[in-house]
Amino acid sequence: MGTKDTLSKWLRASTLGLARRLTLVLSALIIVFVAVVIAINMQTQRVLLAERMAYSADHLIALAQEVSMPHLLENNPAGLEVFFEQVGNQFDVEVIYLVSPRRWYLAGGGDIEANFLSYIADPLIERAFATGHRQQVFESEVLSIAAPLTVGGTVLGILRLDYNQKRLVDKMNAVLVNNLLAGFAFLLVGLLFSRWLASRLSSPLIQLTQAARSAADGNLDTEIAIKSKDEFAQLGAAFNAMMQNLKTSMYEIHRVAYEDKVTGAPNRSWLNNQLEHLTLHHAHSETSFAVMFLDLDNFKAINDTHGHHVGDLLLRSFSRRLARCMREKGLILLDVASDERHLADFDKNEAVLARLGGDEFTLIVPSKKADALATHIVSEMARSFKVDGCHITNTTSIGIALFPAHATSREHLLKCADVAMYQAKRGGRNTHRYYDHNTHTQMKERSALERDLEQAVEQDNFQMYLQPQFEVQTGKLDGAEALIRWEHPTKGPVEPNVFLPVAASIGLLPKIGQLMLAKAIEAAATINRRRDEPLIIAVNVSIEELNDDGFADMVKHWLDLHDAHPRTLEIEITENTAMEESAVVEHQVAQLRAIGVRFAIDDFGMGYSNLGRLKALAFETLKIDRSLVTGIGEDPASESLLYTILDMAKAIGADVVAEGIETAEQLLFLRNAGCGHYQGYFGGRPVPADTFARWVLSQGDGPASAPGMRSAS
Amino acid sequence: MRFLVRIASLCLVLVAGKLAQAETLMLGSINDDVRKHIEQFTPLADYLVEQLADQGITRVGISVLPTAQDMADAMRVGDVDLYFDSPVVAAHVARQAGGEPFLRRWKNGIGEYHSIIIVPNDSSIRSLYDLEGVTIGFQGPSSTSGFMLPVALVRETGIPLRELEGTDDSPAGDEIGFVFTGDDRNTILWLAQGLIGAGATDPRGLAWLEDSQPGAFRSIARSADVPRQVVVRRGGMDAALSARIEDVLRDMSDTSEGQRTMALFNDTTCFDDFPDGVEATFEPIYQLLDELNLMGVI
């Protein structure tokens, strides 16, 4: 604020309210006082002047009579010349002269132009001669006197005086002017004084008002200094004490509101304030900063293992180490001491550390420091923490979003940092990642897919397709593999290899598996109900499903429900699943095998099989992966591997189904190699279950070709 | 009063005497009113001290003395250097003190004047010879126009003159009585009042009467013209200084400062040389003085 502003503010403040009223009252008093003094003075002057005039005129006449008489007696009026000249020079004497009984002008002074002995015709003089007594007239502020000089009743001459009161009045007017000038000066001084006094009296109040207003605006550092020893000073001291208490209370409230209880670091609200402020105030500046999102990699496990108490202590240690890392990189951390304090100056290396909740922390740092800081933090956090006597290792993953490159709003920045953090997690944890838009897009698509999948599971939007399997030697249809198909409501058909991994990652696989199993059992029952030679319907089951204690019972339930023969159902598990040495799995498999359900190892040749275990499991079928089949006719190594597998299958008494047969050449090879069954486009593409069923029923038993399928023969 | 004036004058003379030796030029005047005359002379004194600085004059003093005798004494001993007065008195003092009239002084635009003897218009007096048995009023014994010039005129008639006790007194039938009125104005007042039968005055007095009572008086005799005023220097004055003073006074009317100074110096119009020369001008005046001396007037 400029000096001018301050001055005008002071003037405005001091002319308002109390100060103005005080000034007005004091001014009024001074005006009345000055007016009364001037009036009294003028009245006194008037009386004095009137008295003086009367006295002066009388005195002059008496003096002139005294002086003139001897000269008249000596008949020597010439001797009076000097006297009258002197008297005539007096300012209030307009004219004074002496006239002989013959009305001859003898001597005089003042404003008279009469020659010696010239005749004077004057009514007043005539009256004086006539009466022998003094005559006087007051007219137009001139006192005219004609006074006879008599000796023994004889008039020797008449003294004639014009005494001009106007000059006295002029003089009095001059006095009045002087009075008014002095009064005005006094008034001016008085007004200034009253202004000064009023503002002096009211300035503490104005100060207090301004301070209170400032405090109301949130400026708790307001303090006032009143340099006096009166009640105002006490009030000022009380105000200051109040402000101090208020400040303490505000700080406490502030701390409660914005400080995280566990770590003592600022909390999410405060971080949001800071970010909001930053994004608003730097919207058009060239400032660049980074929002870093940190997450402890194994916090949940630690909480579960060691309890929340240790978890909280770890968070506190983590927070402290984080702060230390930041300081080591030359950053200055803001705390919640004042909400007026905003992160503003990145040139000074100011930074923010806040805990968002759980095991999530967020930092705001200058962009140029972000990379080095993240590396430093990751490496420091890799060292173990000693918490409550335990040594705990907990790495961290950091996601970094840059303002304004990645996002310009608070929500978006946090979201981007969060996404980047997940990218870091996906990147193997214990590392940091900058936000990447492409990855983010994929993630978004994936999460959309996840939501859609959940909905699809809920509404059973999956369809079962069946792909026929044939005997290699005869070309006779002898089974089908149930394959899942998903028609997305907006995106159309989604490949299983796209949605199944997603479903697996969010734990939906068992539910989907159940849906498919139920459909497959139903289809097996429906199709085989009218066939003499039953078709075996194979369905894929995941390890997660098999790990369920109720799996076997559920399968039995469905078999009963649809009145399907267990031997028409073949459960395909992957090679890896088969190798899993799980008691639960083994138990479930055993139960189902006991009632005749067949088991097949899917995609054989892709995983690592323990041959001993393979034999022990005694699976009914091995399904040779399509990757081995594609080498037929081109790759002797593949062909020799196929021979080996077929020999091995023969050795353990398992049927073999070759997948992915697309050419006659492949089929011929299989036939020559002695492979039992095949599946593939050469034989028939997967078709919807009901289409398959209708087709199968229309064909009856024996070699057949499905719609769009090549006959085996 | 007169005693006091004399004391004051003496004091001034004493002071002036001391200072005269130290480049002081003293101006002199005869009058009872010391203050008034000092006031009148001061502008001239200031002017002269400025103009005569080149002559070593550092101060110009003023000496107002009550009588012609005092003035003559002062000039003789060198206490007064320049003396201003009407011509007859001035001639008297100059003769006694060994001084010399050297410039004419004009007053109120008048360089020369004369004296007249007036009588009421209805008076039977036609000439000076008709003044037998009549009282004539003169101004005062030291007045040139009011006494010296007219008394010489009256004396030419050969009729005996006698000073009366007052206007109540009357002259005998073969003589002329006279009274001193003290002032020119008183002379014409008394004449107008009929207290005297004739009065000696100058043309100004007659003008006053003409103005107030037109046609009521007439003149019966007129004296010769004399200079209005003259300036006398003491004898033995330094010739260079004297010449310089003469130039300064004569040239006063040429400068505005000189004119202003003269106006303040009792309405002086200018200083100039006597038109007929000093001797021709003063010859009759010295004769007049001789006559007055015989009369015992001076």
SS (H, E, C) B190-227: HHHHCCCCEEEECHHHHHHHHHHCCCCEEEEEECCCEE
Count how many Cα atoms sit within 13 Å of the Cα of residue B97 in the half-sphere of its side chain: 31
Instruction: Choose between A190 and A662: higher pLDDT.
Output: A662
A33 and chain B in contact, CB less than 8 A: no
Measured in angstroms, the CA of A117 and the nearest CA of chain B are apart by 6
With a pLDDT cut of 70, the percent of chain A lying above it is 94
Tell me if A77 and B185 make a contact (CB, 8 A cut-off).
yes
Contact residues, chain B, for A106 at CB < 8 Å: 189
How would you label B173-183 residue by residue, b for 16+ Cβ within 10 Å and e otherwise?
Answer: eebbbbbbbbb
| pLDDT of A701 | 56
Query: Which amino acid appears at position A522 of this protein?
Result: E
Measured in angstroms, the CA of A158 and the nearest CA of chain B are apart by 16
| pLDDT of A115 | 84
Query: Cα–Cα distance between A521 and A534 in angstroms, integer?
Result: 13
**Is residue A356 helix, strand or coil?**
strand
Contact residues, chain B, for A104 at CB < 8 Å: 189, 192, 212
A73 and chain B in contact, CB less than 8 A: no
| pLDDT of A345 | 66
Tell me if A78 and B209 make a contact (CB, 8 A cut-off).
no
Q: Distance between terminal CA atoms of chain B?
A: 24
Q: Which residue spans within A526-681 are E strands per DSSP?
A: 536-540, 569-574, 598-604, 621-624, 655-658, 677-679
Tell me if A117 and B181 make a contact (CB, 8 A cut-off).
no
Q: Which of residues 624-653 of A touch B (CB under 8 A)?
A: none
Going from the C-alpha of A587 to that of each of A542, A553, B295, the distances in angstroms are: 15, 11, 194
The mean pLDDT of A363-371, rounded to a whole number, is 91
- The phi-psi region of residue A139 (left if phi > 0; otherwise alpha if psi is between -120 and 50; otherwise beta) is beta
The mean pLDDT of A57-63, rounded to a whole number, is 89
Strands A536-540 and A332-333: unpaired
| pLDDT of B292 | 81
CA B203 to chain centre: 15
pLDDT digits (tens, 9 = 90+) for A417-429: 998 998 898 888 8
Strands A360-366 and A350-357: antiparallel
CB A38 within 8 A of CB A179: yes
Measured in angstroms, the CA of B295 and the nearest CA of chain A are apart by 27
User: For residue A123, is the peptide bond before it cis, meaning its omega torsion is within 30 degrees of 0?
Assistant: no
| pLDDT of B214 | 87
| pLDDT of A338 | 55
Query: Cα–Cα distance between A404 and A571 in angstroms, integer?
Result: 55
Q: Which of A222-226, A285-289, A331-335, A389-393 has the lowest mean pLDDT?
A: A222-226
The mean pLDDT of A598-610, rounded to a whole number, is 82
CB B5 within 8 A of CB B30: no
Q: Is the pLDDT of residue A139 over 60?
A: yes
Going by C-alpha positions, the residue among A712, A656, A698, A713 that lies closest to residue A468 is A712
Tell me if B212 and A115 make a contact (CB, 8 A cut-off).
yes
Query: Per the confidence metrics, is the pTM higher than 0.80?
Result: no
pLDDT digits (tens, 9 = 90+) for A575-602: 888 887 778 888 898 999 999 999 999 8
Six-digit token string for A523: 């289809």
Q: Which of A325-339, A431-445, B250-264 has the lowest mean pLDDT?
A: A325-339
Six-digit token string for A441: 């897009």
Size of interface A-B (CB pairs under 8 A): 50
How buried is B113 (Cβ within 10 angstroms: 0-12 exposed, 13-18 middle, 19+ buried)? buried
DSSP state letter for B147: I
Residue A655 pairs in a beta bridge with A621
Query: Cα–Cα distance between A335 and A319 in angstroms, integer?
Result: 13
| pLDDT of A170 | 78
Nearest to A116 among B182, B185, B193 (CB): B185
The mean pLDDT of A338-353, rounded to a whole number, is 72
Nearest to B212 among A78, A79, A117 (CB): A117
A78 and chain B in contact, CB less than 8 A: yes
| pLDDT of A343 | 67
Q: Distance between terminal CA atoms of chain A?
A: 101
| pLDDT of A712 | 37
Strands A569-574 and A536-540: parallel
Q: What average pLDDT is seen over chain A?
A: 86
Count how many Cα atoms sit within 13 Å of the Cα of residue B86 in the half-sphere of its side chain: 20
Q: Which of residues 15-74 of B touch A (CB under 8 A)?
A: 33, 36
Q: Which residue spans within chain B are E strands per DSSP?
A: 24-30, 59-65, 82-85, 100-107, 112-113, 116-120, 135-138, 161-163, 176-180, 198-201, 217-222, 226-227, 229-233, 268-272
Q: Which of A223-237, A395-409, B132-146 has the lowest mean pLDDT?
A: A223-237
The mean pLDDT of A238-261, rounded to a whole number, is 84
Nearest to A78 among B185, B193, B213 (CB): B185
Q: How many residues does chain B have?
A: 298
B195 and chain A in contact, CB less than 8 A: yes
| pLDDT of A711 | 41
**Is residue A461 helix, strand or coil?**
coil
B208 and chain A in contact, CB less than 8 A: yes
| pLDDT of B219 | 93
Q: Is the pLDDT of residue A708 over 50?
A: no
How would you label A24-55 residue by residue, b for 16+ Cβ within 10 Å and e otherwise?
Answer: eebbeebeeebeeebeebbeebeeebeeebee
Query: Cα–Cα distance between A136 and A127 in angstroms, integer?
Result: 10
The mean pLDDT of A508-520, rounded to a whole number, is 91
Instruction: Name the strand (E) or helix (H) holding A291.
Output: strand A289-296
pLDDT digits (tens, 9 = 90+) for A522-575: 999 989 988 888 899 999 998 888 888 899 999 999 999 999 999 999 999 988
**Is residue A255 helix, strand or coil?**
helix
Q: What is the mean pLDDT of each run of 10 residues along chain B (298 residues)?
A: 49 46 84 88 94 91 92 94 92 93 93 93 92 93 86 89 90 92 90 92 85 88 92 92 94 94 92 93 90 74
Query: Cα–Cα distance between A94 and A85 in angstroms, integer?
Result: 12
Instruction: Choose between A140 and A693: higher pLDDT.
Output: A693
Contact residues, chain A, for B189 at CB < 8 Å: 75, 77-78, 100, 104, 106, 116-117
A89 and chain B in contact, CB less than 8 A: no
ipTM: 0.76
Six-digit token string for A144: 């005219």
| pLDDT of B283 | 92
The mean pLDDT of A637-650, rounded to a whole number, is 89
Going from the C-alpha of A424 to that of each of A319, A405, A434, the distances in angstroms are: 20, 19, 8
A82 and chain B in contact, CB less than 8 A: yes
Residue B167 pairs in a beta bridge with none
The mean pLDDT of A449-468, rounded to a whole number, is 92
Contact residues, chain A, for B33 at CB < 8 Å: 82
Six-digit token string for B226: 């004399």
Nearest to B183 among A79, A100, A118 (CB): A79
Query: Cα–Cα distance between A264 and A271 in angstroms, integer?
Result: 13
Measured in angstroms, the CA of A120 and the nearest CA of chain B are apart by 10
Nearest to B211 among A79, A100, A115 (CB): A115
Tell me if A117 and B189 make a contact (CB, 8 A cut-off).
yes
Six-digit token string for A333: 């951390």
Nearest to A76 among B186, B192, B209 (CB): B186
What sign results for the dihedral spanned by CA atoms B143, B146, B152, B154? negative
